[in-house]
Structure 1
Amino acid sequence: MFGARRTRTLLGPADPARRMPPEPPRLSAAELIAWAEATAEPNTPRRGVRRDARLPRRMVLATGAVTLAAGAVAVIGASGVLVDVERGPADPPGTAAGRVLVPVAYQPGTDEAAGPRLRALADGLVDAAYESSAGRYTYHRKQVWGDPVMTSPDGRFSVAFSQETKVWWTPGEPGRQTTVMGVPEYPDQASRDHWASRQPVSATASADAIPLPPFEPAALPSTRRELARMLKTELGAAAVGKETSKIFGRYAVPRAIRAEVLRVLADVPGFRWRGEVTDRAGRAGLAVTFDDREHGQQHLLIFHPRTGELLASELLTLGPVRMNAYELILETGRTDRLG
């Protein structure tokens, strides 16, 4: 059975993803099986319970089995209408293992079209810290949660482990990636109670380091039209939010291009200005959101208030609100040192 690295090596120039930095590695089969065995419960779904087909990448736990489903959760209230709910504070740094995640809080009344604010931010940007550094390798350190997710057989209760990844890459040369498994985190208190009432979910802290094969990344566009194409503006705000996260998570984006990214976002209908917020790493930022009513989701982007760097992104399900996924971009830099 071929692994991703061997497959990409065999494909060589024919690999359609050769210009893109590799995604973080998935959990091993042994880890998935261990989780399933540790949290197994009888596979007896209640009558009348239907599992939504559009779940994120999930491990649906039944006795001795792990299955995956792709897509996105869409949870609508009984009335079929999405309603606003009061939000809690962001998770402070150092919160104990097994925490229940709450959405990043933003100030009441900060609900206006984001365009003018994003353009003003773009006009006043200063250099990011990495723009005064030099080196062969682009470096990112990120923390992610929400892929994959362990889910109970009825689809109601979930848990996932945070992961910290570090990636070093340079065009046309081998790179390096390390991944450290973090603590279990839950989208709601009911999920935490569910797993605790059976067998507490735990994992031994582990680190994994892998070499990355050489690849030729696509150059960042320098014009707004080209950036709009890369950000997939024709697909709407949800796609633009996702592609914005990819750009800032892969490149050390120069100030001029950061400004153009913000101006592209300003022209996309649907983004709302949410003002000053504090992200999960305790950093001050400026937030915008997009409510995807069709799929019952909200997309959140948090930018540095002076440099315009993307600090964090989140995906929530609405009605009721609960965490779906988050990503923190903790460091971006350039270095001559691999690892």
Structure 2
Amino acid sequence: MADELDLLRAADPAPADGPYFGDGPLDHTAERHLARLLHTPRPGRRIRFRPRLLWGLTAAAVVAATTLTVLFGGPSGAPAVAAPRPLTVRTHSTPVPLAQVAQLAAVAATDGSPALRRGTHVQSWSLAMSDDRPPVTLPEERVVRWRADGTHTEVVVATDPDHAGRPVLTDTGRVEDGKVLSRQTFPPMWGDAPPLSTPPHDPAKLRAYLTDLIHSDTLTTSGLLDATAELLDNWTLGARESAALAGLLADARGLRPAGQVTDRLGRTGQAYVLDTGTGGRRMLILDPATGAVLGLETTFTRDDPAYGVRAGDVMEYRAWMR
């Protein structure tokens, strides 16, 4: 194994002692780019997604380091502005139980509108940490749209940290503001496994779908949130799918209602908090009337001087739009 690792390190243009990432953990953006590198098929090829390959982590670190260079001008560039403040629950607001949200979502889904749509529009921010550098921010917005022939386009824009929460992309991918990181068109892709296969709106089938999506045998509450984020990074849920997902969340253990919150796009939602027990807290934001997921935020619950972070600092967030 040592020989193989030495070969990988030698082939890696971003050395372990470089200014960004090194052998640190990957954020969801880097993992998504790696998955695309590993799984993008030849035109017309039908594929089936399977577990990610662990040996690909080095390649993903290269992708992430490249993104950082584009955003901040390389090692000599100035670091981004301070991390965003964590979302705060409105004082004295009344928490809405998840079971009630699931009931309201089921009623709202009666006519099946809006419908499920392939693709996503998401604004995200994540914290990349290094042993010998200050934290670095990665603000971006992404629009993915699929065509009937199986091709799809993706536009990724670096958002302005001074105007956090303001969308800089239209739903069609036109750039209103921000720096374009990539604009790509991908060849036809089909598959019979998540996330290419269509998510069901039956709760039991959706649970199986999400379990398969994160390549797990069981679906813990933390795993359910991971699967939800992955699902929404690929699909814009319709009313029925949102209702089914709300039902699964209502049955999950450990998600406690916290009250009303205004998300990073100015939308009012209900917050549900999960303490992971590993130094992090996750906050899920739902539209209480429809059960639609508006956002997901992770914050630190304890200081980590080695990485220059404190309890309450934001680790990452995502805000999904229709």
Q: Which bin holds the TM-score, normalised by the shorter protein?
A: 0.5 to 0.7
Residues 290-320 of structure 1: per-residue CA shift (max 9 Å, x gap): 1111x11111111123222211111111121
Matches within 5 A, 1:38-117: 38=77, 98-108=81-91, 114-117=97-100
Question: Which range moved further: 245-254 or 173-182?
Answer: 245-254
**Structure richer in helix, relative to its length:** 2
CA distance in 2, matches of 1:9, 1:214: 8
- AA paired with 1:8? T
Q: Pick from 273, 280, 288: which aligns with 1:297?
A: 280
Corresponding residue for 2:69?
32
Q: Which sections of structure 1, spanning at least 5 residues, go unmatched?
A: 41-96, 186-203, 333-339
Q: Distance in 2 between matches of 1:235 and 1:253?
A: 20
Quick one: higher RCO (CA 8 Å, sep 6+), 1 or 2? 1
Q: Equivalent pairs: percent with the same residue?
A: 19
Q: Distance in 2 between matches of 1:130 and 1:177?
A: 25
Which shifted more, 243-252 or 255-264?
Answer: 243-252
TM superposition score normalised by structure 1: 0.60
Task: Tell me the residue number matched to 2:185.
Answer: 211
Q: Shift of the alpha carbon at 1:272? A: 0.5
Q: Which runs of 5+ in 2 are unaligned?
A: 1-10, 12-33, 52-59, 163-177, 191-195, 212-216, 303-310
2:233 is paired with a residue whose SS is helix
Cα distance in 2, alignment partners of residues 108 and 128 from structure 1: 35
The aligned runs of 1:117-266 (5 Å cut-off) are: 117-125=100-108, 131=114, 138-146=118-126, 149=128, 151-154=129-132, 157-170=134-147, 173-184=150-161, 205-216=179-190, 217-232=196-211, 234-266=218-250
Query: TM-score w.r.t. structure 2 length?
Result: 0.63
Q: Could you say what secondary structure the match of 1:208 adopts?
A: strand
**C-alpha root-mean-square deviation of aligned residues, in Å?**
3.8
Please give the secondary structure, in 2, of the residue aligned with 1:308: coil
Partner amino acid, structure 2, of 1:296: G
Cα displacement string for residues 223-249 of structure 1 (whole angstroms, at most 9, x for unaligned residues): 221112223393311111121122233
Q: Which stretch shows the higher mean deviation, 101-110 or 284-293? A: 101-110
- Say if 1:165 and 1:179, in contact at 8 Å, map to a contact too: yes
- Residues 5 and 211 (structure 1), Cα distance of their counterparts in 2 relative to 1, 3 Å cut: farther
Q: 1:160 Cα shift? A: 1.1
Residues in 2 aligned to 1:312 and 1:30: alpha-carbon distance in whole angstroms: 23
Q: How many residues align?
A: 244
Offset from partner CA, 1:241-274 (integer Å, 9 cap, x none):
1211222332232222211111111111111012
Contact 2:96/2:259 (<8 A) preserved: no
Q: Which SS does the other structure have where 2:75 is aligned?
A: helix
